[in-house]
Structure 1
Amino acid sequence: MMQPIRYRMEAGEWSILILLSVMWGGSFFFLEIALDELPPLTLVLCRLGLSALLMVLFMAFTRRAMPRRPGLWPALFLLAALNNAIPFTLFAYAQTQIASGLASILNATTPLWGVIVAHLLTSDEKATPAKLGGVLAGIAGVAVMIGGDALDWRGGTMLAQLACLGATLCYALAGVYGRRFRAWGVRPLEVATGQLIAATLLILPLALFVETPWHLPVPGMRTLFAVAGLAILSTTVAYFLYFSLIERAGATNALLVTLLIPVTAILLGTLVLGEILRPRHWAGMALIAAGLAAIDGRLIDRFRPDPKL
C-alpha cells in the first residue's frame, strides 16, 4: 500500500526539490551552449533519445520491466507530449531568440500555472490565499533577481517569450496529469522511462523531416558535453527525482522547483565562476524564501492565534 501524499513537505522532500533545481537550472546553461551548433528539434531529439536509452539500459540492468496495464502507453504518450516534446521544443526555440536568464524567469511562472491547474482539476490540491500569495511572491523574487529590463517585449522576442509561457503551462498540466500513475501503481522510474521513450518517438519524425540532421556538421566536444549534461543530469536523473517528488508531495509542491532554478543558477555562478551577488539578488532570494514559507504554511501557522483560546 502506497504512503499518502504529504502536501506539507518535510526535510526529505525539500532536499529533493533543491537538488532538482540544480539539475534543471543547469539545463538553461547546457541549452545555450548546444544551440550554437545544433538546431532546436535536433537538440531535443538528442536530449530525449540519449535519456531514453540510458533509462532502458538501467531498467534492463536492474531486471525491471514496464507494467502491462491497459491504457498505460497512451497515457505515457500524452504525458510525454506535455512534459517533454512540446515544452522542450518551445524552450529550445525560445533560447535561439532570448537569453537563458530571461527563459529562466519565464520558467518560474510554472508554479502559478500549477496552483491554478491543480485547483481546477483536482479535489485535494485546492488553492489557498497563502499558497497563491506565496507563488506570486516567488515570481516577484525571480523578477527582482533577473532585473527590471528582462521582460522587454521589443526587438521581436514576443513570440519567444510566449513560447516559454506556453511551455510552463504544459509543465503544469503534466504535473497534475502525472498523478494518475501513482494511483495505478506505476513507480517513478517506470513513468520516467516510459515518457522518455514516448517523447523520443514523438519528436523523431518531426526533427528528421524539418531539420534533416544528417546534413549538419559534426558538433564539437563542447556541444557534445552540453548534450550529455542535458540528457544525463537535466533529464534522466532529474525526471526520476521529479516523479518521486510528485509521488511524495503532490504536483503543486513539485512545481515549486522552478522558483528555485534562478536562485541555484546565480549561486553556482557565484561559487564556481566567482561572479558577484548584487543587492537585487539578495532581495530576490528573500522574496522567494518568503514565498516558499507561505506555500509551506508552517511558519504562518505559528503566528495564528489558537482557536481553542
Structure 2
Amino acid sequence: MNLLDSWQLWALLSAAFAALTAIFAKIGVEHVNSDFATFIRTVVILCALAAFLFATDQWKPLGSISGRTYFFLLLSGLATGASWVCYFRALKLGNAGQVAPVDKLSVVLVAVFGTLFLAERLSPRNWIGVGFIAVGAVLVAHKS
C-alpha cells in the first residue's frame, strides 16, 4: 500500500496542521478582531485550495455536481464557518492549550452524530476511547 493512500497518514497530518492552526491563530488574533481574523484565514484557504486544485488538475465543472451534493456541501460550509468564528472567538478570549481540547470534543460529537445520522457502529472499545477523549478534553480545559 502506498503511504500517500493511507488515511492514517492524512489524519495525523491533519492533527499536526490543526495544532499549528491553534498556535498561529492565537498569535494572529492578538491585535485584531477575531471575526476579521477568521475572514483573512478564509481568504487564504480559498486561494491556496484553488491553486492546489488547478495545479493538480482536480478542478471539476460545477455542472457535474449533483444538487444533493451541493446542498450538503453548503451545509458543511456553513457549519465550518460557524465553527471557525466560534473557535477564533474562543482563542481571542482563552488559552490555546485549553481552547483546542474543548474544540476537539468534536471528535466525541462526530461519534455520536455518526451513530445517530449515518448508521455507523462503534464497538464498546471504540466508545471507551470516545469517553476517554471527552474526559481528557475536560481535564485539559479545566483551569487549575
Question: TM-score, structure 1 length as denominator?
Answer: 0.40
1:280 is matched by which residue type in structure 2? R
Deviations 1:142-163 (A, max 9, x none): xxxxxxxxxxxxxx26323323
Question: Contact between 2:34 and 2:88, CA under 8 Å: does it hold in 1?
Answer: yes
Question: TM-score, structure 2 length as denominator?
Answer: 0.77
1:288 aligned residue (133, 138, 143)? 133
Aligned to 1:208: 54
Aligned to 2:18: 171
Deviation at 1:288, TM superposition (A): 2.2
Question: Contact between 2:26 and 2:91, CA under 8 Å: does it hold in 1?
Answer: yes
Distance, in Å, in 1 between the alignment partners of 2:122 and 2:58 is 43
Unaligned runs of 5+ residues in structure 1 are: 1-155, 302-309
Distance 1:180 1:229, change over 3 A: same
1:210 is matched by which residue type in structure 2? T
Deviations 1:5-39 (A, max 9, x none): xxxxxxxxxxxxxxxxxxxxxxxxxxxxxxxxxxx
Residue pairs, 1:133-148, within 5 angstroms: none
Between structures 1 and 2, the one with greater helix share: 2
Unaligned runs of 5+ residues in structure 2 are: none
Distance 1:285 1:170, change over 3 A: closer
1:240 is matched by which residue type in structure 2? V
Aligned to 1:220: 66
User: Aligned residues: percent identity?
Assistant: 21
Deviation at 1:228, TM superposition (A): 0.6
Residue pairs, 1:112-261, within 5 angstroms: 156=1, 158-159=3-4, 160=6, 161-184=8-31, 186-211=32-57, 213=59, 215=61, 218-234=64-80, 236-257=81-102, 259-261=104-106
Question: Contact between 1:189 and 1:240, CA under 8 Å: does it hold in 2?
Answer: yes
What is the aligned length?
142
Deviation at 1:166, TM superposition (A): 2.1
Question: Contact between 2:38 and 2:84, CA under 8 Å: does it hold in 1?
Answer: yes
Higher relative contact order (CA 8 A, sep 6+): 1
Distance, in Å, in 2 between the alignment partners of 1:261 and 1:157 is 29
Deviation at 1:170, TM superposition (A): 1.7
Deviation at 1:247, TM superposition (A): 1.2
Aligned to 1:79: none
Structure possessing the higher radius of gyration over alpha carbons: 1
Aligned to 2:109: 264
Distance, in Å, in 2 between the alignment partners of 1:164 and 1:269 is 17
Deviation at 1:223, TM superposition (A): 1.3
Distance, in Å, in 2 between the alignment partners of 1:225 and 1:256 is 30
Distance, in Å, in 2 between the alignment partners of 1:282 and 1:206 is 37
Distance, in Å, in 2 between the alignment partners of 1:285 and 1:164 is 16
Deviation at 1:297, TM superposition (A): 4.5
